[in-house]
Amino acid sequence: MASASLLDDISHIYPPSSGALVTYGGAAALALLAYLIYSTVVPDDSGSIRTLGGFPVLTAWAFFTQRYDFFWGNFQKHAAPHFKFSVLHHQVVALRGEEARQAFFNSKSLNFSEGYKILLGGAPSLEDINIQSSGEGGAWFNKQVALLFTNKQRLTENIPTLVEDINRRMESWGQEGQIDPFKSIYDLVFQMTVRMASCDELANDAQELEKIQELYWILEKSATPTAVLLPWFPGRAKKAKEVATRQLYMKLSHYVDLRREAKVPTNNAIDILVGQGRSNPDIIAFILGVILTGVINTGIQSCWALLFLGTNPEWRAKVQAEVDSIIEKHTNTTSRAEPLHKRLASVPTSVWEDEMPVLELVIRETLRVIFTLTLLRRNVVEDITVSGGVIRPGDFIAYNVDDAHRNPDIYTDADRFDPGRFLPGREEDKKATFAFLGWGVGRHPCTGMKIAKLEIKLIVAMMLAAYDYDVVDSAGRPSKNLPEHDRNDIHQARPVGEPVYLRFERVVE
């Protein structure tokens, strides 16, 4: 399968003609053979960790195409808490177990940013188009995320605009109908993320926003094994990624220049970064990073929270009552004649953050069930020993969160959606060290947690307060039980098999 996919990429660039078939076949075979030989010659100096057999390129191919199945399929073959394999000339060590979890999230030898540099092929990088930012890396990025997305005053000032964005998008669905949440809710999250990460001029331009979103999905589709395993190969994915990154840079650069020339600064992210004296490449690299992580994570959780509530009447009723309560309690009498989104916009920031415990439980459980990523680090300091295995400097480390989130020794009936498992008296997430990983733990808590939670709460509150909705299949039949989500789909986590939809009717304006 791997070699067929590789040849498919080659064939789109050099389509065979009757006069060039032999040349094409020979070139393709030589390219594949050269890579197989190259990738097989990898030193193996840590025999304490089991090494996967077979051609390294085929092993690595599975890691990039079916990562979840690759991870757990190999662990099911042996009882050992680790195994390793090769990607290019690098060693990747997969870990599981509580000791591994503690080391992964606490060790100062393991670097977060370095872990994703090679193994995350779809992330936009200005280096792909020969543009250099300051290169300050993850520490500077996280500092700006904390500055821009945890500042209470800035959040308070932006909530009315975010609610307006939600209402405008939802109104475009019509009074009643059926939507694909993995399209319509993602569009909504994309709008909100761009609003918070860039400037109003861009967020208010629907056509330009749509073009930028299209470019982002091109980048997502360019994250092919070929692009990572054969970075030197001029395949379609590599070319598409370069073109999309360049167009994104040019479009965003226009808005950065626009804000630089503005006479009156605002609280938009671009203005704040310009005020720090940052260059266009620095600002654009930051925007690209925020949109990538924000849209994927918040989009997935918003979609599935609505789906889970749509198929769990008990928890839906509890969240509905909580939303109704904050509207009643925190909007004054004179505002009750106003549209719903205006009333929601007047709810204080502190209420969204601190007075919605039921929705907090729902978000937490949605993360536990749906957040099934394989997290990455790189050892940049010295040898470390984990569960009897030695991890060398330069090695990459992979840890899948379902080692905790689907662990039956921690969570009762772990595949079932049950927000009550976090309530006092049960608190299943406290049975083991770092048993809940949804917002990061140890040395790397999620700096974007506050804005992500806020956006999810705004979306769910608006949906429950303004609409009656049901989860249905493509024929409009109600779905009482949701299908499993695709654990190999790291960007959207869509349901496996038949798609699901939200059939809605707007009942409150």
What residues are designated binding site for heme?
Answer: 446
**What's the CA gap between 502 and 474, in Å, rounded?**
10
Question: Is residue 404 within a helix (H) or strand (E), and if so which, with residue range?
Answer: helix 402-405
Q: Count of residues for the chain?
A: 509
Q: Which of 355, 344, 335, 289 is nearest to 165 (CA)?
A: 344
Which residues lie across from 390 on neighbouring strands? 385
AA letter at 104:
F
AA letter at 405:
H
| Contact assessment for residue 82 and residue 94, using Cβ atoms and an 8 Å cutoff | yes
* CA terminus-to-terminus distance, the chain: 53
Q: Which of 365, 353, 367 is nearest to 439 (CA)?
A: 367
**What's the CA gap between 377 and 110, in Å, rounded?**
6
Q: Which of 253, 259, 307 is nearest to 281 (CA)?
A: 253
Q: Which residues contact 191 (CB under 8 A, 6 or more apart)?
A: 165, 169, 203, 209
Q: Which of 447, 465, 454, 509 is nearest to 160 (CA)?
A: 454
Q: Which residues contact 16 (CB under 8 A, 6 or more apart)?
A: 24, 25
Binding region: 446
Say whether 111 sits in a helix, a strand or coil: strand
Question: Is residue 478 within a helix (H) or strand (E), and if so which, with residue range?
Answer: none
Classify residue 485 by its DSSP letter.
B
**What's the CA gap between 229 and 235, in Å, rounded?**
12
**What's the CA gap between 260 and 205, in Å, rounded?**
18
AA letter at 340:
L
| Contact assessment for residue 235 and residue 10, using Cβ atoms and an 8 Å cutoff | yes
Q: Which residues contact 21 (CB under 8 A, 6 or more apart)?
A: none
